[in-house]
Each structure stands twice: as structure tokens, then as C-alpha cells.
């Protein structure tokens, strides 16, 4: 018990002295990324959708090189997926948001000789290390359209409520008391 109290006192002293600041805020995670190219689906396997241009990336949880959001903070998140179909009677935008490789929601946008946009949104509970990404479904008639930097195809996510651990609550209380 004396060892625990001693360790707790050392943490309090470090926090009050300002020497123990977390690298990232434990309650902030938000990003918006847009796609800068067009994609045609593979006929046989799902094609990853990589939203390669970051507009916001608070917490650096979204990777614009591989299109994956990796959860750093456990909690409840909101994600939005917007896709635009090609202007063609045979090219349909059919993409799905996945959690750890399992479909959670999809977006369908039928071109019908005009460009059409569709969006979908989800609120989802994530654990630390969970991965959220998007795929263009396999098939000969699936494609995504985009005009350079316009951002017609985009992916947004943010932390709505963090799942706070006992240790994080303790640090937050100590920080509040030290002010």
C-alpha cells in the first residue's frame, strides 16, 4: 500500500510540475480526407478506397497512404462515407465501410448517364486498435468518380464519446486539481 501511495504521489508531483503531459489529448480524434483520383473496381475482389488528401487529422489516427483509420482512443465514433458514381449507364458507385474487415454499412449510387452522389453515416463503438476502412465492391460495373481536388468522394470520422479508463479518470482529476 505504501508503494502505491508513493507512486501516486510521484505522479501528482510530475503532473503539477508540468513534466508529465500526454503526447496526444486522450479525448481528441477527428479527420476528413478526400479522394483525388477515380477508381474502377476489380471484377474479382474488393478494392480498397484510399482517401489520399487529408483536410483534418486531429490525433493522426487516419493514414492517407493506406486509407485506414486505426483507433487510438476507445469509445463511440461517428463516420460518414460519401461517394460519387461515374456518368455512365453501367458504372455504379458501390462502396462499404468496414470495421476490422467486416462490412458495417454501404453506399450505393447509380450513375444512369449522370454523376450521382450518395452518403451514409454510422455511429459505432470501437476498441483501441480497431481498424475502420472502406472498399469498392468487386464487380465489373462498379467505379468511383472524382475531379481532382474537388472532393466529391470523402471519408470523415470523429470521436463522439471516449471510453475513459480508471487511470485516465485519475490523471484528469489530478490535472484539474493542479490548476
Output the tens digit of pLDDT for each of the chain's 179 residues. Answer: 554 455 455 554 555 445 454 555 668 999 999 999 888 888 789 999 999 999 999 999 999 999 999 999 999 999 999 998 876 667 788 899 999 999 999 999 876 666 778 899 999 999 999 999 999 998 878 888 877 677 789 999 999 999 977 677 778 788 888 87
pLDDT for the residue numbered 179: 77
Packing angle, helices 2-17 and 166-177, rounded to 10: 50
C-alpha cell at 66: 493506406
DSSP 33-89: EE--S-EE--SSS-EE----EEEEEETS-EETTTTEEE-SS-EEEEEEEEEE--SST
Say whether 18 sits in a helix, a strand or coil.
coil
Count CA atoms closer than 13 A to 72's CA, side-chain side.
Answer: 22
> Which residue shows C-alpha cell 444512369?
112
Rounded-to-5 percentages of helix, strand, coil across the chain: 15, 40, 40
pTM for this entry: 0.78
Cell triple for residue 121?
A: 453515416
Q: What is the pLDDT of residue 155?
A: 97
Q: Which of 90, 85, 91, 169 is nearest to 119 (CA)?
A: 85
Name the CA radius of gyration of the chain, rounded: 21
Amino acid at each position: 500500500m505504501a508503494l502505491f501511495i508513493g507512486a501516486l504521489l510521484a505522479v501528482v508531483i510530475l503532473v503539477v510540475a508540468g513534466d508529465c503531459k500526454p503526447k496526444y489529448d486522450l479525448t481528441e480524434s477527428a479527420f476528413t480526407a478526400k479522394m483525388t483520383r477515380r477508381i474502377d473496381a476489380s471484377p474479382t475482389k474488393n478494392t480498397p478506397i484510399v482517401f489520399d488528401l487529408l483536410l483534418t487529422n486531429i490525433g493522426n489516427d487516419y493514414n492517407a497512404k493506406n486509407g485506414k483509420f486505426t483507433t487510438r482512443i476507445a469509445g463511440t465514433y461517428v463516420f460518414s462515407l460519401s461517394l460519387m458514381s461515374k456518368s455512365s449507364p453501367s458504372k455504379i458507385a458501390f462502396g462499404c465501410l468496414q470495421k476490422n474487415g467486416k462490412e458495417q454499412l454501404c453506399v450505393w449510387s447509380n450513375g444512369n448517364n449522370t454523376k450521382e452522389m450518395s452518403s451514409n453515416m454510422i455511429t459505432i463503438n470501437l476498441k483501441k486498435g480497431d481498424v475502420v476502412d472502406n472498399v469498392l465492391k468487386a464487380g465489373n460495373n462498379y467505379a468511383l468518380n472524382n475531379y481532382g481536388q474537388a472532393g466529391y468522394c470523402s471519408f470523415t470520422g470523429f470521436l463522439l464519446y471516449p471510453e475513459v479508463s480508471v487511470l485516465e479518470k485519475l490523471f484528469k482529476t489530478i490535472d484539474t486539481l493542479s490548476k
